[in-house]
Amino acid sequence: MIRKRVYLLVLAGSLILAELVGAPSSIAIREAKVLGHAEERAQRLAEQVLGNDREKFVDYTTTGGTWNVKNDSTWCSGFVPGIYWYLWAITGEAGWRDLAMKWTEGVRSRATATDNDTGFQVYESFGLGYAFDETLRSNYGPVLLQGADTLVNQRYNPDIGCFRSWDQNLTDPYSGLFEVNIDQMMNLELILWAGLNGGPPEYVDYAVSHADKTWEHNVRPDGSTYHVVSYNLDGTVDSKRTHQGWTRDSTWSRGQAWAVYGYTMVYRYTGLPRMLSRAIRCYDYFIRETILDDNNYIPYSDFDAPLDSRNPRDTSAGAIVASAALELYQITGDRRYLMNAEAILGSLSSPQFLTIGWGWQSILGGASEKWGRSDVGAIFADFYLLEALYRWELVEQPPAQVTGSWAGYDVLDSHFVDTGDWMGWMLARDAPYLYHYGLEDWLYVENSTVSDQGAWFYAFRP
């Protein structure tokens, strides 16, 4: 459980300081803004969009920002409880746990359903509950094992060495088309978890085999990815195609994000060095191609497609990679992952993508279901944003202590000041943010000087 350090709730132009403990950096303050916004959207999702009905879920919004309400069979059903689990983990507020448990129950029957995305559905609900709350383990553990059994029995073909993504309605892995998409890497988490937590140990071998085959056939030598590979039943490759990208040989950015996250996650469970080097190869491709287009760290839907209206950005791909980058930083200690993650989070928390004041129901805008579709919100974009915030809190470094005074206030490094006109932080290492009550807006630093004592002084605009 992460101790809540900064919590700002921005509602209807009023700002309530609920708690301040410790020393935030500017990203922490951006995080507080995102968190307040996320909490407001998540509460409305439960009450207004889903009507407190645990059988209802969402996947994408319309282009106007209104959630499409679905039943539990959407591949996205696990992300609804997942968002509540992360809000509980970040804030420690019991109400989020209640909502998380409620919608986790709504997903229970997916553990025995026919679906290639059982891993997404069951792990982001029961798996996160199991991870965050020991008291739920005896209840949730069997559901996770059951979900893994279902995926293995219906989807794993040992002659091919992969789990089938499509034809998604078939339960016999020896009949019909056998297509494997890059997204399927994500469903390995449930399999790996089961193999290491009381399920058949060979499940780990199945997951490793799938990851190896995916590397061989879905990933190109430069680290980019084919979306879909179709296998013959003797394990040879029949053909390759894309379902959500531009063309067969282009790279769909969310598929690339799944590869980055997927190999990082497989490394976490297996410790196999080749999984880590694959994660890094895919990551390097993702970051290089994203930055090539412009500097805002959020890719377009397809890295190779022309930059026109059919190729919108995809904030979900950015959020997935921000979260994976924070895990890569934790594993390797290489600060470039932390810096890239912070750059992505900086973009996601900017007015271009964060839906404060938009009248949308999602936390983020600027996602896309696939190449050729318009900008929408996506529940998994919101989910991975919150996961990244959670992970960022785990890896952040405490800032150096610097003292001084400013505007008559003592400054001890990251020091909170509330003058009645505005509130904000004096920061030793990074650009500060403050909230101006009269303007009902966040203001950003314009310039700064460093005092003899080493404290930084800021002038704010306007």
User: Interface with ligand GLY by CB under 6 A: which residues?
Assistant: 75, 183, 244, 254
Closest CA relative to residue 430, chosen from 451, 444, 409: 444
Say which of 115, 117, 302, 413 is annotated catalytic.
117
224, HSE (Cβ side, Cα atoms, 13 Å): 15
d(CA 392, CA 376): 25
> Quick one: 88 or 261, whose CB is closer to ligand GLY?
261
- State in angstroms the smallest separation of the CB of 413 from ligand GLY: 41
Active-site residue (options: 115, 149, 183, 430): 183
Q: How far is the CB of 244 from ligand GLY (least distance, A)?
A: 6
Closer to ligand GLY by CB, 37 or 254: give it: 254
Q: What is the DSSP string of 272-330?
A: -HHHHHHHHHHHHHHHHHHHHH-SSS--BSBSSS-SSTTS-B-HHHHHHHHHHHHHHHH
Contacts 24+ apart (CB under 8 A), 84-88: 84/42, 84/46, 85/124, 85/125, 85/128, 85/129, 85/132, 86/128, 86/383, 86/386, 86/387, 86/389, 86/390, 87/38, 87/39, 87/42, 87/386, 88/132
Whole-number minimum distance, CB 370 to ligand GLY, in Å? 7
What is the number of the residue whose Cβ is closest to ligand GLY?
183
**Of all helices (H) and strands (E), which one includes residue 155?**
helix 137-155
- 3-state secondary structure at position 270: helix
Match 């930083």 to its residue by tokens. 329
The residue (of 244 and 270) whose beta carbon lies closer to ligand GLY is 244
Q: Which is nearer to ligand GLY, 155 or 254 (CB)?
A: 254
Distance, C-alpha 123 to centroid of its chain: 14
Q: Which is nearer to ligand GLY, 168 or 403 (CB)?
A: 168
Respond yes or no: is residue 413 known to be catalytic.
no
| Minimum separation from the CB atom of position 254 to ligand GLY (A) | 5
Q: How far is the CB of 27 from ligand GLY (least distance, A)?
A: 27
Catalytic residue status for 117: yes
User: Catalytic residue positions?
Assistant: 117, 183
